[in-house]
A and B are shown apart, each in its own frame.
Chain A
């Protein structure tokens, strides 16, 4: 009686959990490779502080939420210095990723000189050459490239030479150290006041004074030196001049400023910039080291292929096992079905509770584990056959077989489990999904062997009198050995 309860425990659990999953209409959470979408790995410098990385992920999360139309984004730290961004479903998400990974370091810097009048970078100076008046001697400022005259490694705290990209022709400005940064901004909103998109900035109260002081100072200057450059991630977004009617003794008050964004699109870039500025700059810059884009149709095809292949495989295995092991075959097919049901339910529940996603590699792990689970039955049945062969009674043979095979399966599954565990710890990306699926399946296999197989086989075999119901051979063949 206790045995009956034990062997029924897992099937009842499996069916119960499945009914729960079915009624709450849960289903496994599919990975990008099965439902389509974009996956990007953003890599920071090798020795980035983990805390900095975590802060970056936080900022990226708030940014992506602000973009709104992205469903179930997943942003997580991967390895020592990388962030994995996964955006399922394919709409125009490349733009989202672009905005997500942008550092977003905004600075306000006074203009010191420009290439407007001369036509060459203010980083270059041409001294008269006494020997050859046609070719003056070119002197470059330190830290700029020789060809164009742009600062190679921009540091907002020192003077630098940067290119303006938004004007109709390129201009290189010489800029002073940053006076205000993105940290001084309270709020940023995209707006379309007249004929072009702008990002309207509102400074924090404490910083508004700094801005007023800066404009006072600039209003005293003339020409290029009246300009204030707004620099984002090392590129000058705009460099407006302070209007001529600004009083040098008062400056610009009210603590607001605007960045013009032109009208080349329908406001996406203005919106993205506003979002980036509102939630602050990333504390470290990232490089895209891997992008993978999977269309929804391919994902669906692959999922169907996996499901169909699994189903066909299961049916063929069932037929083979039933042909070989007769009634025992039915026991194992029932056990395998319950194994499958439990696996499906647990993955669905995990997907909703823990965010466990089922990827292609995971499906591969499941297909492999079906083979392993089937093998556990085969090992047991073969032991049983050996015991019956040496002349033991069916009942005694069955008990001995389940005990001995449990030890064998424990050893073999322990190897599988260690392999899965090691892989999960050591590997990256898709291999982890595989290891997790294999690990869960191996634990289930152990549970089923211990609770289900170990109890149901003796119960059934002790009621059977003829070898024909167990194996494809006659009674006299097996006892004639």
Chain B
């Protein structure tokens, strides 16, 4: 089995599986849409960090008990909207509304007193409400320009129809991430956004390499259009590379997640690693299994 996989002789009839894969894809999309609709009518909420909503956060590391936290939640200096604790670590994070500068300093000193830490050791972050909006609109604008550019690029290098397939695979990967974030209520930070952008890159990179391989096979078989034989042969051959590449890309990220969990350090780097990990797995999956039903349609025409 391994020998065949390695040599690309697996002889899996991918074209024949197109209907099954299409059904899986439709089910996936149905799940994503359900989750998105739930989010739209307010059953599920995207948990945006203060970088988007504005507000203040205070993060400190000290031994704490449940009653300490309850006391902080009912303090009369600043309204604390939520708190977060981490497994394997004594770190606790409070998220509060914006206050006047003196209130914020007072709250900082209050926490320093309460948890017996130096006030310089408390991570403090404050974001104005307009700033968050600004980075969000800029991010969305960047995304739209980026996607249009990619469609253009793939259309020039390959065919317009291929760029649509690449786009579908891309949106599939983004939807998986969004759905997981919605369902598990993870916090969305700027790092998450960077990770999503990286996923875009990965997903495209994978798809472009696949298309390149398809075109090579077409040339080798002297075909002007994609045939069933070429499709099957190419996908069998590319399986090994896809698996290898996702392993090499996923291993460093998995080690961030793994180490981060052991050390008990939950920060920007782990915020980044989680969506990336999901994205790489899904990017590899989508470049093979999501593209097949759509590429099959190109053959039929």
Contact = CB atoms under 8 A, between A and B. Distances in A.
A404 interface: yes
A368 interface: yes
A305 B195 CA distance: 18
B260 A305 contact: yes
B135 A308 contact: no
A43 B268 contact: no
A76 to B, nearest CB: 16
B197 A423 contact: yes
Contacts of B125: 290-293
A94 B104 CA distance: 12
A386 B238 CA distance: 10
Nearest to B197: A423
Interface stretch (B39-47, B69-77, B146-154): B146-154
A17 interface: no
Contacts of A404: 216
Interface residues of A, number: 75
Interface string B3-16: 10011110000000
B134 A477 contact: no
Contacts of A477: 3, 7
Interface stretch (A149-157, A231-239, A240-248, A408-416): A408-416
B183 interface: no
A247 B120 CA distance: 54
A370 interface: yes
A419 B256 contact: no
Contacts of A389: 7-8
Interface in B249-279: 249-256, 259-260, 263, 265, 267-269, 272-273, 276
Given A301-B263, A415-B208, A434-B194, A481 B269 contact: no
Given A33-B268, A415-B204, A431 B193 contact: yes
A386 B267 CA distance: 43
A44 to B, nearest CB: 12
Contacts of B153: 414-415, 418
Contacts of B138: 426-428
Interface residues of B, number: 73
A481 B197 CA distance: 41
Contacts of A361: 191, 194, 268, 272
A383 to B, nearest CB: 9
B272 A429 contact: no
Majority SS at the chain B contact face: helix
A108 interface: no
A382 B240 contact: yes
A368 B196 CA distance: 13
Contacts of B194: 361, 364, 430-431, 434
Contact of B244 (A287, A324, A370, A372): A324
B248 A321 contact: yes
Contact of A363 (B3, B122, B269): B269
Most A CB within 10 A of own CB, among B149, B213, B240, B249: B249
A157 B216 CA distance: 76
A287 B101 CA distance: 12
B190 A430 contact: yes
A3 interface: no
A214 B237 CA distance: 91
Contacts of B139: 427, 431
Interface string B217-260: 00000000000000000000100110011011111111110011
A18 interface: no
B48 interface: no
A310 B9 CA distance: 34
Given A412-B208, A426-B142, A428-B135, A386 B256 contact: no
A360 B195 CA distance: 12
Interface string B83-126: 00000000000000000000001000000000000001111111
A309 interface: yes
A290 B128 contact: yes
A295 B173 CA distance: 35
Contacts of A423: 142, 146, 197
19 contacts: A33-B268, A289-B127, A291-B124, A293-B125, A302-B265, A305-B267, A320-B244, A320-B248, A320-B251, A378-B244, A378-B248, A379-B209, A415-B153, A419-B200, A419-B204, A426-B138, A426-B146, A478-B7, A481-B7
Instruction: List 3 tightest A-B contacts by C-beta distance, closest first.
Output: A313-B252, A371-B249, A289-B128
Interface of B: 3, 6-9, 59, 105, 120-128, 130-131, 134-135, 138-139, 141-142, 145-146, 149-150, 153, 157, 190-191, 193-195, 197-198, 200-202, 204-205, 208-209, 212-213, 216, 237, 240-241, 244-245, 247-256, 259-260, 263, 265, 267-269, 272-273, 276, 280
Given A374-B249, A427-B139, A431-B190, 17 more contacts: A287-B128, A289-B131, A292-B126, A293-B124, A305-B256, A309-B255, A309-B256, A309-B269, A324-B244, A412-B209, A416-B205, A427-B142, A428-B134, A429-B135, A431-B193, A438-B198, A472-B6
